[in-house]
Structure 1
Amino acid sequence: MYDCHREHPQFIRLLHWEGLHRAAGPIAAWEQRGAHHASKLAALAAAPKAGALNADFAPSELLRAVIALAGW
């Protein structure tokens, strides 16, 4: 995930831009985006149980941190 965001930094910028300037209407591909992020969150939630990560942070916090660090 980190590598993908590093290779395509414009994606993160587009998401931020959309969040700042979108109309009050529906968000494009909302269901698909939700499913994509749910799979990432599920993997992060399973990682401490497998001994791959410690459980100090919630999966949602880790996902936000990885995306933010990749775009920095």
Structure 2
Amino acid sequence: PNDLKEATTRLWAARWGVGKRRLERPADYAAILATYWYVEGKHAVANNRLDEAAYAAYQLAMINPR
């Protein structure tokens, strides 16, 4: 995916669930989070925001897939 809005929407949906008002983490949460940081980083690089791209790369590297 390359759409930042879609990646953000998927991340928030994964964090809060569909129609529920409590925090939950689905089994594929790490993959959703990784996708978000990847897309965020790509957009930051494309817009020459290298500090934000570096932060996104750091966050991507820190994801624990468990």
In which range does the TM-score fall when normalised by the shorter chain?
A: 0.3 to 0.5
Larger radius of gyration: 1
After TM superposition, the score normalised by the length of structure 2 is 0.42
User: Which of the pair has the greater relative contact order for Cα pairs under 8 Å at 6+ separation?
Assistant: 1
After TM superposition, the score normalised by the length of structure 1 is 0.39
